[in-house]
Chain A
Amino acid sequence: MHELDLSRLQNELLRSGVAPRHVRRTVDELSDHYEDLVEQGLSEGLDSRSARSGAMTSLGEFEDIARAVRAQPELRSWAFRFPRVAAVVYPLTCAVLLPAAPVFIGAAHANHLARWALCLFLSAVVTAAMFLMLQMAITLT
């Protein structure tokens, strides 16, 4: 197979804690580089299959590229560089955001929420009226 598939490299980098923006950028630039290599191969008279195969070889093994990325600690996401800080900040952020989430979501969908509340109120009124009528029927008989 001579088609460039960078998804394995992308997953490997994300798993090893490389910041997503650096992963995205690395993958984009590698992809462009590969296209340049293929164009070069074609311009030298290679057929498409050979040009792609040659481009893959020139680009290098994904393991080597992943190792080169991992060797640059500043490309890692901050949570991987400062795990102790992340261990404090993440739970605190969740503790603040999770209770506030319904408020934010409610504010963002106020119209739907108002309609839903009105329906709920009306159905409660209808149910209460039915119970009342039932109770009266029982009492009167």
Chain B
Amino acid sequence: MAQSNPPFMSGVPELLLLRLLDQNEMYGYELVRSIRAATGEAISLGEGVIYPVLHSLERNGSLKSKRKAVSGRTRVYYSLTKKGRQRLGKLRDDWRRIQGGIANALEVPSHA
């Protein structure tokens, strides 16, 4: 089983969920599979923890959900709203800024 990485996970599930839902509407199980595929299994979550994040994003208007009957089972599909796209843009900018900062810090030779 892939190792989970909780200390660095703050805000990451939100960013990934918004990014993946920007492409297609998906339900929870499908989203977890897509996160694994998109990150090359570098990020592994306890799969159940995505639901509170999804519900919270829906509550703040970044996502909307609808129920669909598929193969005799009702699934909740999530999709991005306009507000969600704006939130994704902001999170992506934040992430790139932090990523760039950390990359710079790693390249600077350490002082004795």
A interface, CB within 8 angstroms of B: 22, 25-26, 29-30, 32-33, 35-37, 57-62, 64-65, 68-69, 71-72, 74-75
Contacts and interface: CB of A to CB of B under 8 A. Distances in A.
Interface residues of B, number: 21
B37 to A, nearest CB: 14
Interface majority SS on A: helix, strand, loop or mixed? helix
B40 interface: no
Contacts of B49: 60, 64-65, 68
A33 B55 contact: no
Contact of A30 (B45, B48, B73, B75): B48
A65 B52 contact: yes
Contact of B52 (A32, A33, A37, A71): A71
Contacts of B46: 58-61, 64-65
